[in-house]
A and B are shown apart, each in its own frame.
Chain A
Amino acid sequence: MKRFGGGGADPPGAKWDLKLYVAGQTAKSLQAFANLKRICEEHLAGEYRIEVIDLLKNPQLAKGDQILALPTLVRKLPEPVRKIIGDLSNTERVLVGLDLKARTAKAGS
């Protein structure tokens, strides 16, 4: 888990609660974590918390969040729950998935 470099900024009352499901430290999962971290720092600095869940260690957790594809990013908070699958290399779609697209557009204007 340490290879993922921890959850970064982990404020106690984080507005954004993100869970990244992976199975071991595959290229895809490392890539996904790196991409996620970058996007969060860029758009949600100080407001987010990332929890990485390794299903190889806790396979029973896959059921709860209906995880099928890996890697899967689950936005637990803010509600509603959103899911983004893949290594998050397509930033545009990650932002859409996280519902950040509108926000960035607003900030830019």
Chain B
Amino acid sequence: MRRRQFNTRKSENCLPKCPTGIRGLDEITFGGLPRGRPTLVCGAAGCGKTLLGMEFLVRGAKEFDEPGVCLSFEETAEELAANVASLGFDVPSLVAANKLAIDHVYLERSLIEEAGEYDLEALFVRLGHAVDSIGAKRVLLDSIEALFAGLENEAVLRSELRRLFRFLKERGLTAMVTGERGQNGLTRHGLEEYISDCVIVLDHRVTETVLTRRLRVVKYRGSTHGTNEYPFLIEDRGIWVLPVTSVDLRHPASLDRLSSGVPALDEMLGGKGYFRGSSILVSGTAGTGKTSLSAHFVNAACARGERCVFFSFGESADQIVRNLRSIGIDLGRWVDKGLLQFHVARPTTVGLEMHLVKIHRIIGEFAPAIAVLDPVTGLIHAGTAIETNSMLLRLIDVLKEKQITALMTTLTGGSDAAETTQVDISSLADTWVLLRDIESGGERNRGIYVLKARGIAHSNQIREFVLTSRGVELREVYLGEAGLLTGSARVTQEARDASAALAASQEAESKHLVIEHKRKVLEAQIAALQLDLATAEQEARQVIAQDELTLRKHEQDRSDMARSRSANTGPREAGVKSAKARGGRQ
């Protein structure tokens, strides 16, 4: 911690820096070139030394209000202006505005005779004059080694060069000095001997027919600097150095969820879909529907009014739109509405870095919510696997930083295990959806499963993935005794299941009828018995009522008789008589 503070203070206070304005270079050098000192830029012919120097001057003039002088020993002012015009730098107007001065210094040895002692005072005069006339703060000497070819007396030249760099330092000019790469040293004529503050080496290499340019800060006295070789490229807005290691893992993590566009897949992803700003990898063998799945995601996002960008490294935009129409997705309307942009490039047309820069720029300009790279493995052909890997790493970091959800498809070879991606980017992906072929019963069907989904409770099921005219549909795969069934095998099994279910339900139905019948029979019997019972009860009640009536009649008769006899005869006798009478009647 203490050391870090010390370093920071050192770089801020002890060594003033001069920002170049060149994208990426200031990051690598932690702020720019050493202010008021010369920096040596060396490299082989055609590796971009002059462009780097010119961009240093032009950006200084335009962005930092630091006018610059270019002493060109090789090209005329017109040639230089024309060369950098392709980078969008309007040199003539900067010259007219007194922000830039170009002096072409030309020496033709055959037309010069050396007769006696001389020095290069006129060079100082010219440089001093140019600097004073526009108040320059920056100087480019490109490439001063041409003097070695133009002058015989190397001893004089060397002492004059030493004087020149001292002169630049005394005037407080931040200078860039270019030199051709030499056999034994950094430069052919040992310029590094004079310029020891900062040395940048440019290099270009052709690997499998693809050119990659690289930049390395070999030396930076008094300052920390990135020591790697950084790929850089020259595109239509100047030089772009791509720092690999300067991005730190501090991107925010969103809780927002985005639908995958396929409801069943959302269901598999905890019911809500992907996280916003996450990186999604869709891998699968050829023809498993990776693009279709991507299209669903894009379609859903556009329908929500979010902007999407689709980088295709295999198909043309028209072809993609046409093909997706066959599964009922019309991406053309989103293009028309300006919500969707297609960017198509053959991976091999330009180097990997060029692709990366293009992607960066498009993303910067269009500010999409979603970026699709289809297929990302196509980029392998633009570089080596290691380069592709580091490029994707950088790209994903950039996308995450901007909270752009990235969907990348990768093509896995048929012979590889399904879980192998050609480029080892699986660890970079937050969500990995795997599409695979399931071969059985003489047909090929598609299966989908979520291999991983960081932070999402995802399904562990394999589903069957079907492309219909209404888009992607997921079906439950049949897991039976015969194992996993898909396609027509699944359909057959489903039919079999259905008929079995029908038979079972019919059987149940007939059982129901039997029971119903029995119930009805028994109910009828119950009703009959109940009727019997009721009749019997009725009769019994009638008998009892009759008996009571008879009894009361007897008592009445007896009391009547007693009254008529006026004598107390025993009621018992009478009772017996009446009972006898009644029994006779029955």
Contacts and interface: CB of A to CB of B under 8 A. Distances in A.
Interface of A: 21, 23, 28, 31-32, 35, 55-56, 59-60, 62-63, 66-72, 80-91, 93-94, 96-97
Most central of B103, B107, B125 by chain A CB within 10 Å: B125
A61 to B, nearest CB: 9
Contact of B117 (A60, A82, A87): A87
A89 B115 contact: yes
24 contacts: A23-B122, A28-B118, A28-B119, A31-B116, A32-B116, A55-B121, A55-B125, A56-B125, A59-B126, A59-B128, A63-B103, A66-B105, A68-B107, A68-B123, A68-B147, A69-B118, A69-B120, A69-B123, A69-B151, A72-B122, A86-B114, A86-B115, A91-B115, A94-B113
B121 A96 contact: no
A69 B120 CA distance: 4
Given A56-B125, A62-B129, A68-B107, A90 B119 contact: no
Contacts of A35: 116
B581 interface: no
A102 to B, nearest CB: 14
A69 B125 CA distance: 10
B101 to A, nearest CB: 10
B106 interface: yes
Contacts of B155: none
B378 to A, nearest CB: 52
B120 A83 contact: no
A87 B114 CA distance: 9
A28 B117 contact: yes
Contacts of A90: 115-116
A67 B115 contact: no
B106 A66 contact: yes
B121 A84 contact: no
A29 B290 CA distance: 80
Contact of A66 (B107, B120, B121, B125): B107
B112 interface: yes
Which 4 pairs from chain A and chain B are nearest by CB?
Answer: A97-B113, A86-B116, A59-B129, A87-B116
B417 interface: no
Given A68-B107, A68-B120, A70-B122, A88 B115 contact: yes
Contacts of B576: none
Contacts of B117: 28, 86-87, 89
B482 interface: no
Given A69-B151, A81-B111, A62 B116 contact: no
Contact of A85 (B114, B125, B126, B129): B114
Most central of B113, B120, B150 by chain A CB within 10 Å: B113
Contacts of B129: 59-60, 62
The contact size tier of chain B is 20 to 34
A23 to B, nearest CB: 5
Given A66-B106, A68-B107, A69-B151, A23 B125 contact: yes
B403 to A, nearest CB: 54
Contacts of A32: 116
Contact of A94 (B111, B115, B119, B120): B115
Contact of A82 (B111, B114, B116): B111
A35 to B, nearest CB: 7
Contacts of B123: 68-69
B113 to A, nearest CB: 3
A36 B276 CA distance: 82
A83 B112 CA distance: 5
Nearest to A27: B117
A85 B118 contact: yes
A69 to B, nearest CB: 4
A71 B118 CA distance: 6
Interface string B19-36: 000000000000000000
Contacts of B122: 21, 23, 55, 62, 67-70, 72
Given A28-B119, A62-B129, 20 more contacts: A28-B117, A28-B118, A55-B122, A62-B125, A62-B126, A67-B126, A68-B105, A68-B120, A68-B123, A68-B150, A70-B120, A70-B125, A85-B112, A85-B113, A89-B115, A90-B115, A91-B115, A93-B114, A93-B116, A96-B113
A66 to B, nearest CB: 5
Contacts of B113: 82-85, 93-94, 96-97
A65 to B, nearest CB: 9
Contacts of B147: 68
A100 B547 CA distance: 182
Contacts of A91: 115
A78 B118 CA distance: 24
Interface in B128-161: 128-129, 147, 150-151
Contact of A23 (B121, B150, B151): B121
Interface string B83-116: 0000000000000000000010111000111111
A89 B111 CA distance: 19
Contact of B119 (A67, A70, A88): A70
Contact of A93 (B115, B126, B128): B115
Contacts of A86: 114-118
B126 A63 contact: yes
A94 B113 CA distance: 7
Contacts of A88: 115-116
A46 B280 CA distance: 90
B481 to A, nearest CB: 93
Contacts of B107: 66, 68
Contacts of B115: 84-91, 93-94, 97
B119 A69 contact: yes
Contacts of B125: 23, 55-56, 59, 62, 70
Contacts of A80: 111
A18 to B, nearest CB: 13
A71 B126 CA distance: 14
Contacts of A68: 105, 107, 120, 122-123, 126, 147, 150
